[in-house]
Chain A
Amino acid sequence: MTAPASLDLTPAPGAASLPRMIAAQTRYELSGMLRNGEQLLLTLIIPVVLLTLFSATSLLDLGPGRRVDFLTPGVLALAVMSTAFTGQAIGTGFERRYGVLKRLGATPLPRAGLIAAKTLTVLLVEAIQAVVIFAVALALGWRAHGDPLSVLALLLLGTAAFSGFGLLMAGTLRAEATLAAANLVYVLLLAVGGVVFPLEKFPAGVRSALELLPISALADGLRQVLQHGAALPGKPLLVLAVWAVAGLALAARFFRWE
């Protein structure tokens, strides 16, 4: 055994700059997320499997048009939901339960900085997801078209809406309840949100209700742009904006840090 290194414990306090703290927290969250097997299953493997499986086979009746053109926007919407909503709700819920949020609250990193780092992490993971999904889609014969800015606007509004409700759940429910509820919502919205099953298959009355879900609005909006070449589709953007405002306002109001 060597003698322990001597430590200069003399006080030398000081907070790093806010951008540096946010960058450090983002790097930390991102590396944790990319190492987490369950997260990767949710964020990358399931979307890629759904895209490949239903593009390459005719297991599902996807309506007129090329299968991959219908599936790519839906799977992209699913990817946003899995990261911004499911992953964030579960991750943050357990951080709250284990006192991590409280502990970070005792460091110089302000709460706004923590939220900024979490948002950046979600956006970076989504960027990785988009690259992978587009690459797989291209390999399956999908051809990129549509207005990139409209896609970006839809993705950002969708992220805001899902993050709001993910954080609302994480900040109000017990961690186990969040885990169960976030997974349940994920499966339900995957089933009825027009991700891989076309909403046209539902009865008209049900369908118009389902179209108001954030996942349907995001999937439909992305389809209007990527499949049909529309720019800034009004109704999906409006629906997502309403969900985003509601989710973020509720989260800001009811989120408890411990």
Chain B
Amino acid sequence: MAPPGDGALALDDLVKRYGAATAVDGLSLRAERGAVTALLGPNGAGKTTTIEICEGFRRADAGTVRVLGLDPVADARALKPRVGVMPQSGGVPGTARAGEFLKLVASFHTAPLDPGALLERLGLTEHARTPFRRLSGGQQQRLSLAVALVGRPELVFLDEPTTGLDPQARHSAWELVGDLRAAGVSVVLTTHYMEEAEKLADHVVIVDHGRVVAEGAPADLTGAERQLRFRARPGLGLDELLAALPAGSAAKESPAGHYLVEGDVRPELLATVTAWCASHGVLAEDLRIERRTLEDVFLELTGRELRA
């Protein structure tokens, strides 16, 4: 782990309370320079609060924050030009024309990107003169992304950058994040799209109840483990199957009619399962062998119940 101050982000034992509610509860994490770090978590997990503390919008009640080695509040003046911020929504006056607002923010910097080229890259050229409030949700998101990038920052915070984007725009935003990474920009993003985290991030930090519950490279988090799934009539007795499987395997039915076999998935295990099915007159439908996805890991760690 890089020493504090060395990375893009170094948070230690961060705490933030709103009245009686604790939004961030002893959160520690590191984000490396030049890497894409994704904060993944359910709604209300504390992702946005954490990001806003890093951006200097909120002060933590306890803990330390270092952004590019600096304090986001005390060193705000040195930090602002170096950091790009894309908030979750809004932040642009409704009457402002898209191109003019982007030009305004560009003019606060010494060597900004060309606003016209940036609009073109984000597919907004024909909306340069459209007032912000008349842009679609996805167009507003893209303009917001442009505003975060126009100053050529070293570090960008993207709070749910692709929420509300259509598939084309989402892929184009992903491509842009890839280009940022290739150019050496550090990216810290929040998302609740597993696919996004899996695809983009070098480092995924799963946050829940204001704490880090797991972190690592996407492949490390999902592990090399495979699992076998199939559908069949509900209520099959699994004891006999378990007895036939190698030690350390597990089999369960959840939800009814959906069967999951975990363990060392080899050809022999597949043969055992299908033989057992055959002996019970069961046709295993949708039989498949797959790796655990980030979504499996995420749901295991954060539970399946819906959050208010």
Name A's B-contacting residues (CB within 8 A). Answer: 4-5, 7-16, 20-21, 24-25, 28, 31-32, 35-36, 94-95, 98-100, 102-103, 105-110, 258
List, in ascending order, chain A residues with CB within 8 A of B81's CB: 13-15, 108
List, in ascending order, chain A residues with CB within 8 A of B121's CB: 4-5, 7
* Dominant secondary structure of chain B at its interface with chain A: loop
CA gap between A25 and B100 in the complex, in Å: 11
Contacting A at CB under 8 A, from B153-188, are 153-154, 179-180, 183-185
* Chain B proximity of A240: nearest CB distance (Å): 31
* Chain A proximity of B53: nearest CB distance (Å): 13
List, in ascending order, chain A residues with CB within 8 A of B111's CB: 12, 14
Known A-B contacts A5-B120, A95-B93, A103-B91; the reply to A10 vs B108 at CB < 8 A is: no
A15 touches which of B92, B109, B118 (Cβ 8 Å): B109
Additional 10 contacts, C-beta under 8 A, given A100-B91, A106-B56: A4-B120, A5-B114, A7-B117, A8-B152, A10-B183, A11-B82, A28-B101, A99-B90, A103-B85, A106-B55
A21 adjacent to B107 (CB under 8 Å): yes
B152 adjacent to A11 (CB under 8 Å): yes
Interface size on B, residues (CB 8 A): 44
A99 adjacent to B95 (CB under 8 Å): no
CA gap between A9 and B246 in the complex, in Å: 53
List, sorted by A's number, 13 A–B pairs whose CB atoms are closer than 8 Å.
A13-B110, A28-B101, A32-B96, A98-B90, A98-B91, A99-B89, A102-B91, A103-B90, A103-B92, A106-B56, A106-B85, A107-B151, A108-B108
List, in ascending order, chain A residues with CB within 8 A of B85's CB: 103, 106
CA gap between A4 and B142 in the complex, in Å: 15
- B90-132, CB under 8 A of A: which get 1 and which 0? 1111111000110011011111011001101100000000000
List, in ascending order, chain A residues with CB within 8 A of B149's CB: 9
List, in ascending order, chain A residues with CB within 8 A of B114's CB: 5, 7
Q: Does B7 contact A (CB under 8 A)?
A: no
CA gap between A35 and B276 in the complex, in Å: 76
List, in ascending order, chain A residues with CB within 8 A of B107's CB: 16, 20-21, 24
